[in-house]
Amino acid sequence: MMPSYRIAKLAEWDLKAIVRHTLKTLGCAQTRHYLRGLLDCFQTVADDPTLGCQCNAILPGLRRIEYNRHVFFYALSAGRVIIARVLPLQMMPQRSLL
């Protein structure tokens, strides 16, 4: 059984925005490729949650990891990885964004 992760509502919205933008600019095939890569990265983190850098200054227990042009933030809850946000690399969230 694969370790699990859950995508929070804000991260879902982030992913939808990424899909819309990538479809518009790069087309369907590249969108599928990029989204698959992100989801694979989520699973890699679920397999080993210690991979990401700690972001305790933003929120205790929060971690981040980069994938291509995005960074995603996650935390552990009840032994499960929760993907909190998926943002462009140049954005650093404030506590209110999470």
pLDDT score of 1 more than 80: no
The encoded tokens of residue 4 equal 């699990």
Q: Where are the alpha helices (DSSP H) in the chain?
A: 9-26, 28-47
Q: What pLDDT shows up at residue 27?
A: 95
Nearest to 51 by CA among 61, 64, 62, 40: 64
CATH of domain 5-91: 3.30.2310.20
Q: Distance of CA 58 to CAs 17, 26, 35, 82, 92, Å?
A: 23, 33, 26, 16, 9
pLDDT tens digits, 42-80:
999 999 999 999 999 889 999 999 999 999 999 998 889
pLDDT score of 6 more than 60: yes
**More confident position, 94 or 89:** 89
What is the bridge-based pairing of β-strands 63-67 and 70-77?
antiparallel
